[in-house]
Structures are given as structure tokens and as C-alpha cells.
């Protein structure tokens, strides 16, 4: 069993950024907004978190900066798509291109800088338990936060009044508007939440997963997070299953490369992307299940008729 | 007081033409502010990015050479976007075109025949077309979201190219550098003037733009594509097969991206390298929108984007700015163009706090 523990630990680190970004995007999409800028918001979170953490020598401030950077970028998206009713697909793509560009400029001076990873939150006594200890009680704060967010979002969407409003806005914005529900405000908040979560996912990458900054280090994780939302069919807990499935694939292909199996490393590296395609195909083939929770107004701009 | 959007009765013709101009103007203003913040004289910054590339004959040729793949890819994407099909994997289709065409060029070696070049170009088109066929078929058969599949395939294509130039296609006499052998003379796109940088690929881009400018408004296919995008229900009643159209626009855009890819490696680079594109496939998305999905507009947009690429290189050398600043400008431009496009369909109304409506 000696090999299983480090394997599980690395799977958790590979899955957490995906889970963080996916749960945020899930909320945004439930409000009827498809934000394809996850990759851009994630990379901005990664670079800003790293820069602030290095400058202040404080990982916590770095995490905050990552979330703020993601939210800040998502605000551009919100102004354009919600207030100006622009095409969401094109705006999201622009957000990703813009985020990658800005992150390269900000991160220019931070390439090659080293930093120790975020501290683990050890629980005295429990962390020393064999096997279970390090896996369950020896993680850093963002890992616990990712699970807390899933539970929080589940409760919010199912049980809270605001969550009901959010779903109503996502399923039929005209009816929601007629009922006097705040369509614009709900979408703004959902987009900002999604941006902050994507920023946290990026912060986790640069502060804990690697922990250093390189250009385009998100390497498509934002896009995989988008696929995870479809995989989860817009139900929060299923995002955990999806994120950990992809985290496992990522780690297993690393280990297979390390074990020196005669398969080209590039082929192994492409496995997470191929797996994403496969999963999307399977999900979309099961039409009834996929459709049950799809927000009906997803991707449609809202302009109040008077 | 707040701003509100009010739907116009019909599209504003003035704004259709004016919106890209306003967007470019706003990008320049944003750029000037950025330069000020970075402590660079705004005029010098803007001159380096947007004017200096067209001041010498060499760099002006370079602008045309870099604009060509952007225009070719954007022409294909404009068909997709008009039909509401979101192919964003053009970078991958471009790469596969370069791989398949480049592989054939290498297989020919120094074999000399006038048929080599056409065969290489056809292989390039086929490469892009086949790579685009995957998301197209997944969308038509399984209703799988083409945005994500086409993008995922881009990552796979880039890894495939990396594998090939470090493995099977590496130049045996290349001292283990990750690059293929140089293509034989008959597999290289001829230059338009001896000693110049312009090659036949540049003509493909501009020629095709002119052809499409005539074909789109006059042919049935052009009409069908627009109808499916703007009024899917009407298209169904008219019997325009949606699935067939998805396949058609995907394959055309993939083939054009493949042509851009093989033209780049055969005309500009001359061999396969691990990296053969500064992000043409993604920038072409901006080009397509900036050009209003219109062939002639796309030519102008491609030239502007190409200037910003070359200007970015000049700024890196002269002003010591990171190369990514060009991407920031491109992002700004796309934001502004999308925002200005709203003015085509809507009027901005300044509202006093509503007392009674």
C-alpha cells in the first residue's frame, strides 16, 4: 500500500484546480450564462496569485489576489454579455485570449522564481494516522475549500431563495423578469462567482500544484473544467466525480511516462484531452439525462422588452 | 440615470461599417493609456506597434506573409460563425494540414516533378479537413458540443506535431535538433518575385477572399448558410439540411486552415518545427469578427492583426516590451468590436430613474 498514498495525494492536487474552476462555471451556467473565458480567468488567477505571494511572501494574500483577478476579468465579461448583450461565445473566447496575453505581460518578471508551496493544514493527532491522516487531514486550505464550495453550492441551488431565483433566471429570463426577479443582478453575481472560483483554481496551480509560474501553465485546464460542467450535467456533486476522474487520468499518464512504457510521452500527455472528448460524446449521446438540467437560456443574451 | 439597450427596428447600416472603425479607435486609446502607465511615450508606442511595420519594404512584405494564414483561416471560420457553428479548433486543423502536407513533402525528398507541389498542397488541405471532420461528425451524429471537441483536438494536434518532429520526422542529419529536414525544392511554394518574401500562399489568401466576396451573396450555398445561422426554423422549413450544412462549413474551414498550415511550412518556414504558428488559428477568430464575417472585411482585419504581430516583435526589440502585449491589444480589439456590434442591433438610451413607464 506504500505506493497508493502518494498516488492519492497527487491525484488530489491534480483534481483540485479542475474542481474549483468547474464549480464556479457551473453556477454561472445555471444563471444562463456560458462563459468560455475560464481558461483566461484561471491563468490570470495563477499569475496574480503567484506575483502577490512572491511580493508579500504571503500565500494567503496570493490566494485572495488570485480570486480577485479571476473575478476582475469576469467583470469585463459580465459588462459585455449582460449589459451590452454581446455574443457570449465570442466574448468568452476574447476573454481567454486577453487573459493569456495579460498573464504573459504580468508574469514576465516571475518566470524561474521559486516559492514553497501553500502550507498544509495539519490537524494535530489526526494527520499522523497512517494512510488516512495525510490524505484526509494533511491537505492545504484550497483542497478543503473546493469541497466546501461544492456543498455550499448544492445547498444554495436546492434550498435557498436566491438559488431558486438564479435557476429561474437561467431557465427563462423573460418569465423571471416579468415576476420582478433581478435578472441582470443575478447574472452579474453568478459570473463574478465563477470568475473568482476560476481564479482560485489558477492560484492553486501556481501556489500549490507546481509551485512556480510558467506561461500558459493552465494548459487547457479551463477548457476541461467547461467540459466537466457538461459532464456533471449541471449538478454540483457530479463535478467532484468528473474532476477526480480527470485528475486520476492526468496523474496515471504521468506515472506511465515515468515508468518508461514504450509509448511516446506526447501521446500520454494527450490522454486527458482525448478523454474529455470521449466523455463529452458519451454524455451528449444520453440525451434525456443531459437535457434534464441544462439551463434553458444558456448562452442567450437577455434584453428586457418594454 | 442608467443606460439601457433598446432594440432597433432594423440593423443600422451606418453602425455596421462604423463599428470596426470605432473599435480600432478605442483600442488605440486603450493602448495609449497602457503605454503611459508603462512609462513609454504613447506616440512612440503606437508608432512602433501599428505604423513601423509598414514603413520598410521588407516588413511590409512580412505583413502580407503573416496576414495570409490569418485571412485563409478567417474566411473559413466566417462560414462557420455565420451558420452558428463554433469551430474554434482552427489552430489544430492548421497544424494537421502542416503535418500531413509536410510529411508528404518529406517523403518526396528531392524527387523533382511539377506534380509534387499540388500533391503536397492537397495533402495539407486533406489534413485540415480530416481533423475538422472529427468535431463535425461528433456534432452531427451525437450532438456533442463542437466548441470543446474542436479545442481539445487542437491540444492533441500540437502534441502530435511535437512528437513527429522529435521522433519519426526528425532530420537524421540534424544533430538531434527537433526539426525535420528541409523540404525539397519542388515541394516549396515559389516566391512571387525573386529574392522577395511573398510566396504563392499569399495569392491563395487574397484570391480566395475575392472569390468568396462574389460567391457569398450570389450563390444558393451562401444564402443557405446565412439562413441557418439567422433563422434556423425557416431553414428547416425550406429544407436546408442542418447536418449537411454543419459538415460543409466545418470541412471547408478545416480545409482552408489546412491550406494555411501547409502554405506556412512550405512557403515561409521550409521544414517542420515543433512550433509553426504564433497562434494564427486563435487570432483568426478575432480577424473573422473584426472583418464582420465578410470576405473583404476579413482581408483588412487580417492585415491589421498581422501588423500588430510584427509591431509586437518590433516593440520587443526596441521598447523591451514582452511579446504578449500584442495579444493584449488583440484582446482589447475583440472586446471593443463585440461591444460596438451591439450598437448595430440596439440603441443606447440614457434613462432617468423610471417614474412611470
Contact criterion met (CB below 8 Å) for A34 and A299: yes
Q: Which residue of B has its CA nearest to A184?
A: B4
Number of domains in chain B: 1
Best of A95, A98, A229, A232 to substitute, by most chain B Cβ atoms within 10 angstroms, is: A98
- Taking an 8 Å cut-off on Cβ atoms, the answer to whether B357 and A101 are in contact is no
Q: What is the pLDDT of residue A74?
A: 96
Query: Does residue B53 form part of some domain?
Result: no
Alpha-helical runs (H) found in chain B = 13-37, 42-46, 57-82, 90-108, 116-142, 146-166, 200-218, 220-230, 232-237, 242-263, 280-290, 295-318, 325-345
CA B183 – CA A119 distance, rounded (Å): 53
Residue A284 with chain B: CB contacts under 8 Å: 142-145
pLDDT in tens, B124-155: 999 999 999 999 999 999 888 898 899 899 99
Residue B331 with chain A: CB contacts under 8 Å: 94-95, 97-99, 101-102
Q: What percent of chain B has pLDDT over 90?
A: 38
Query: Does residue B23 form part of some domain?
Result: no
The complex scores an ipTM of 0.86
Helix/strand/coil (H, E, C) string of B314-344? HHHHHCCCCCCHHHHHHHHHHHHHHHHHHHH
CATH of the domain at B117: 1.10.3470
Per domain, the residue ranges of chain A are: 8-219
Residue B355 reports pLDDT greater than 70: no
Residue A209 reports pLDDT greater than 90: no
Q: Give the mean model confidence (pLDDT) for residues A91-106.
A: 91
pLDDT in tens, B82-91: 888 999 999 9
Contacts of A6 (CB under 8 A, 6+ apart): none
pLDDT in tens, B88-103: 999 999 999 999 999 9
Q: What is the pLDDT of residue A289?
A: 62
pTM, full prediction: 0.89
Residue B151 with chain A: CB contacts under 8 Å: 220, 223
Grid cell listed for A55: 511580493
- Taking an 8 Å cut-off on Cβ atoms, the answer to whether A91 and B341 are in contact is no
Residue A288's pLDDT band, with cuts at 50, 70 and 90, is low
Closest CB to A86 among B3, B151, B342: B342
CA A13 – CA A254 distance, rounded (Å): 13
Residue A127 reports pLDDT greater than 80: no
Positive/negative CA dihedral, A247, A249, A250, A254: positive
Q: What percent of chain A has pLDDT over 90?
A: 48
Contacts of A20 (CB under 8 A, 6+ apart): A142, A145, A146, A149, A197, A198, A200, A201, A204
- Taking an 8 Å cut-off on Cβ atoms, the answer to whether A280 and B156 are in contact is no
Min distance B186 CA to chain A CA atoms (Å): 31
Q: What is the pLDDT of residue A1?
A: 54
Query: Does residue B242 form part of some domain?
Result: yes
Grid cell listed for A206: 501556481
Residue B159's nearest CA partner among B208, B244, B92 is B92
The radius of gyration of chain A's CA atoms, rounded to the nearest angstrom, is 19
Contact criterion met (CB below 8 Å) for A104 and B323: yes
Query: Does residue B36 form part of some domain?
Result: no
Contact criterion met (CB below 8 Å) for B314 and B34: no
Q: What is the pLDDT of residue B208?
A: 93
- Taking an 8 Å cut-off on Cβ atoms, the answer to whether A284 and B162 are in contact is no
Point out the least confidently predicted range of A62-71, A96-105, A217-226, B188-197. Answer: B188-197
Contact criterion met (CB below 8 Å) for B348 and B3: yes
Contact criterion met (CB below 8 Å) for B209 and B297: no
Residue B338 with chain A: CB contacts under 8 Å: 80, 84, 86-87, 90-91, 94
How many other C-beta atoms can be found within 10 angstroms of the C-beta atom of residue B185? Answer: 11
Amino acid at each position: 500500500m506504500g505506493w497508493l498514498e502518494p498516488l492519492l495525494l497527487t491525484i488530489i492536487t491534480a483534481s483540485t484546480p479542475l474542481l474549483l474552476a468547474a464549480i464556479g462555471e457551473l453556477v454561472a451556467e445555471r444563471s444562463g450564462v456560458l462563459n468560455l473565458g475560464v481558461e483566461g480567468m484561471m491563468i490570470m488567477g495563477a499569475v496574480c496569485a503567484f506575483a502577490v505571494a512572491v511580493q508579500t511572501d504571503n500565500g494567503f494574500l496570493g490566494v485572495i489576489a488570485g480570486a480577485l483577478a479571476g473575478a476582475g476579468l469576469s467583470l469585463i465579461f459580465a459588462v459585455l454579455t449582460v449589459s451590452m448583450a454581446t455574443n457570449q461565445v465570442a466574448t468568452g473566447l476574447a476573454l481567454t485570449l486577453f487573459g493569456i496575453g495579460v498573464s504573459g505581460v504580468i508574469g514576465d518578471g516571475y518566470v524561474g522564481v521559486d516559492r514553497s508551496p501553500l502550507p498544509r493544514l495539519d490537524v494535530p493527532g489526526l494527520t499522523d494516522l497512517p494512510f488516512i491522516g495525510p490524505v484526509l487531514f494533511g491537505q492545504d486550505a484550497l483542497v478543503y475549500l473546493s469541497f466546501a464550495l461544492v456543498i455550499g453550492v448544492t445547498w444554495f441551488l436546492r434550498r435557498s431563495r436566491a438559488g431558486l431565483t438564479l435557476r429561474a433566471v437561467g431557465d427563462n429570463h423573460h418569465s423571471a423578469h416579468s415576476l420582478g426577479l433581478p435578472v441582470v443582478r443575478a447574472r452579474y453575481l453568478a459570473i463574478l462567482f465563477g470568475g473568482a472560483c476560476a481564479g482560485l483554481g489558477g492560484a492553486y496551480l501556481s501556489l500549490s500544484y507546481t509551485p512556480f509560474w510558467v506561461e500558459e501553465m493552465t494548459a487547457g485546464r479551463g477548457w476541461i473544467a467547461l467540459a466537466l460542467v457538461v459532464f456533471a450535467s449541471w449538478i454540483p456533486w457530479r463535478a467532484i466525480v468528473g474532476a477526480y476522474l480527470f485528475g486520476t487520468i492526468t496523474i496515471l499518464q504521468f506515472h506511465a511516462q515515468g515508468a518508461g512504457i514504450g509509448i511516446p510521452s506526447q501521446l500520454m500527455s494527450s490522454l486527458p484531452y482525448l478523454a474529455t472528448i470521449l466523455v463529452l460524446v458519451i454524455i451528449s449521446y444520453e440525451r434525456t439525462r443531459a437535457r434534464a438540467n441544462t439551463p434553458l437560456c444558456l448562452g442567450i443574451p437577455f434584453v428586457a422588452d418594454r | 440615470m442608467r443606460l439601457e439597450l433598446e432594440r432597433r427596428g432594423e440593423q443600422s447600416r451606418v453602425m455596421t461599417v462604423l463599428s470596426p472603425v470605432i473599435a480600432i479607435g478605442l483600442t488605440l486609446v486603450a493602448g495609449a493609456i497602457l503605454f503611459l502607465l508603462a512609462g513609454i511615450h504613447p506616440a512612440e508606442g503606437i508608432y512602433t506597434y501599428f505604423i513601423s511595420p509598414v514603413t520598410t519594404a521588407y516588413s511590409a512584405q512580412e505583413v502580407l506573409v503573416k496576414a495570409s494564414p490569418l485571412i485563409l483561416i478567417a474566411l473559413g471560420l466566417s462560414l462557420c460563425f455565420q451558420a452558428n457553428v463554433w469551430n474554434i479548433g482552427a489552430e489544430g486543423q492548421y497544424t494537421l494540414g502542416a503535418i500531413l502536407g509536410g510529411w508528404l513533402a518529406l517523403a518526396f525528398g528531392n524527387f523533382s516533378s511539377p506534380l509534387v507541389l499540388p500533391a503536397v498542397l492537397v495533402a495539407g488541405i486533406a489534413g485540415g479537413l480530416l481533423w475538422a471532420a472529427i468535431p463535425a461528425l461528433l456534432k452531427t451524429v451525437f450532438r456533442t458540443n463542437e466548441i470543446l471537441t474542436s479545442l481539445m483536438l487542437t491540444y492533441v494536434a500540437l502534441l502530435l506535431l511535437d512528437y513527429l518532429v522529435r521522433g519519426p520526422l526528425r532530420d537524421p542529419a540534424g544533430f538531434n535538433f527537433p526539426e525535420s529536414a528541409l523540404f525539397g525544392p519542388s515541394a516549396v511554394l515559389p516566391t512571387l518575385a525573386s529574392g522577395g518574401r511573398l510566396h504563392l500562399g499569399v495569392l491563395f489568401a487574397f484570391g480566395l477572399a475575392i472569390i468568396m466576396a462574389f460567391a457569398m451573396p450570389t450563390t444558393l450555398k451562401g444564402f443557405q448558410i446565412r439562413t441557418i445561422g439567422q433563422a434556423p426554423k425557416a431553414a428547416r422549413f425550406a429544407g436546408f439540411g442542418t447536418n449537411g450544412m454543419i459538415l460543409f462549413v466545418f470541412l471547408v474551414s478545416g480545409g482552408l486552415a489546412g491550406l494555411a498550415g501547409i502554405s506556412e511550412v512550405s512557403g515561409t518556414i521550409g521544414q517542420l518545427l515543433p512550433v509553426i504558428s504564433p497562434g494564427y488559428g486563435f487570432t483568426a477568430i478575432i480577424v473573422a469578427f473584426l472583418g464582420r464575417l465578410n470576405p473583404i472585411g476579413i482581408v483588412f482585419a487580417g492585415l491589421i492583426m498581422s501588423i500588430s504581430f510584427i509591431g509586437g516583435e518590433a516593440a520587443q526589440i526596441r521598447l523591451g516590451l514582452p511579446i504578449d502585449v500584442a495579444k493584449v491589444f488583440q484582446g482589447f480589439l475583440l472586446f471593443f468590436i463585440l461591444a460596438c456590434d451591439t450598437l448595430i442591433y440596439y440603441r443606447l438610451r440614457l434613462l432617468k430613474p423610471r417614474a412611470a413607464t
